[in-house]
Amino acid sequence: FRKHLNELEKKQVSGFIIKQHPDMVQKVNYYDILLKFCSERNIPVIEISEDEYYWGIIKYVILQIYDENIARLIYFKLTHDNISNMLLDGEDFEDPTKNILFLLSSMIGNPVALYYSNLTCCASTTQDLSDFVFEKNVEKYKPDIVTRFEYKKQRKEHTQYITKIHVLGRTEIYLVVTEVNMPLTILDYMALENAVITLQYSFMETYAKNEIEKKYQRDIEYSLLNGLLTGDELSKAARMLKLKDTAQYCVVSFHTISSNSEDYYTKEELEEIGVIEGEIQRLLPDEHIYRNLNQIVCIHEIKPGETQAGKKWKNYIRQYRSRFFTEIKQRIFRLALEVLLMDMEI
């Protein structure tokens, strides 16, 4: 440790900013060694509390040493390296998205949250997981940086900055910064820009993996429901889908009807089927649901209390349709929907 300190002295270090972790047990008291080293050489030492972050000090120092343009470049590179490392070293993180959010929040000193296109909360650095609401005073906003993203700004109890993240042209996710603790600065927007870029790559990777998994599972479910599997293949498929050999299931088929007389589905109609699939998954989160082009299939396990081969659940689905259509009718313009129920045994 002393050797490293001597090397830093040769580089004419101006000072040290440190924070102690009381829970860390060390055989050598590096803190006392550092204080003695700095005292002998008149090098200042600033100690910050354990719950503080270095980013505020870094921003202040950079702006004192360099002009604003150079400071922007340096801070952009610094935040880029730290944020992108969360994705590049993804094996070390169970959920890189949440880690990126918490790192960004520490950089800008304000809470951050992500919302799906339907405005439900995806992740947040606070305990508030409620749906996002666009206010009437929302307006386009252009920060004083070079950006390729679309920013918006709205005022509630606190000012909120909204960035739309496009994922492969298939979906949109909103990154929202709430200005609770301090106003955003130019350097904060540099960090925000890096976070958006990294999150976009993270979402693209996750989307691609999920699509591959969904296609594989869809092929298995299609073969299972259409009687294309027998014997060991059937048992293996059931285990992969976590279906029980001894259980009885009820299958609900949501079949869409194109407005085109030739039964040809346009790109917009296929996207709307994706909307329906998402709403069904949201309304029936515990069921096996998959989509086969224009058809959405739900596999429900009939529980012991559901007598008469799931009659109770079938009636529930029939009653549920009115609520379901109410939930999605504002998002479907071109499609009609039929519902078919049938029994299935593994």
| DSSP one-letter code for 93 | -
The tally of CA atoms less than 13 A away on the side-chain side of residue 328 is: 23
The sign of the CA dihedral 179, 182, 186, 189 is: negative
Nearest to 153 by CA among 143, 145, 165, 166: 143
What's the maximum distance between 2 C-alpha atoms anywhere in the chain? Answer: 88
Q: Give the whole-angstrom CA distance, residue 146 versus residue 177.
A: 19
Buried b (16+ CB within 10 A) or exposed e, 240-249: eeebeeeebb
Q: Which residue has the tokens 């929202």?
A: 176
Q: What is the pLDDT of residue 92?
A: 47
To the nearest 10°, the Cα dihedral for 54, 57, 61, 63? 110
φ/ψ (deg, to 5) at 121? -75, 130
Alpha helices in the chain (DSSP H): 2-10, 30-41, 55-65, 68-88, 96-108, 186-225, 231-240, 267-283, 307-328
Pair 290, 245: CB distance under 8 Å = no
To the nearest 10°, the Cα dihedral for 230, 233, 239, 245? 20
According to DSSP, the β-strands at 45-47 and 16-18 are parallel
Q: What is the pLDDT of residue 117?
A: 86
According to DSSP, the β-strands at 248-257 and 295-301 are antiparallel
Q: What is the pLDDT of residue 118?
A: 86
Q: Give the whole-angstrom CA distance, residue 302 versus residue 204.
A: 37
Is 188 strand, coil or helix?
A: helix
The pTM score is 0.65
Q: Give the whole-angstrom CA distance, residue 59 versus residue 41.
A: 26
Is 342 strand, coil or helix?
A: strand
Q: Which residue has the tokens 């409620």?
A: 130
Residue-wise DSSP of 117-170: TT--EEEESSS--PPP---TT-EEE--SS--SSEEEEEESSSEEEEEEEEETTT
Rg (CA), the chain: 27
Q: What is the pLDDT of residue 168?
A: 76
Is 330 strand, coil or helix?
A: helix
Q: Which amino acid does the sequence have at 337?
A: L
> Which mean pLDDT values do the consecutive 10-residue runs of the chain (346 residues) have?
87 86 72 89 88 89 91 93 79 70 94 91 91 92 86 92 85 92 92 92 80 74 73 76 74 72 71 76 77 77 62 57 58 50 51
Residues counted in the chain: 346
Q: Which residue has the tokens 């999150």?
A: 199
Q: Which residue has the tokens 């925000």?
A: 192
Pair 223, 234: CB distance under 8 Å = no
Q: What is the pLDDT of residue 93?
A: 45
Q: Give the whole-angstrom CA distance, residue 97 versus residue 82.
A: 14
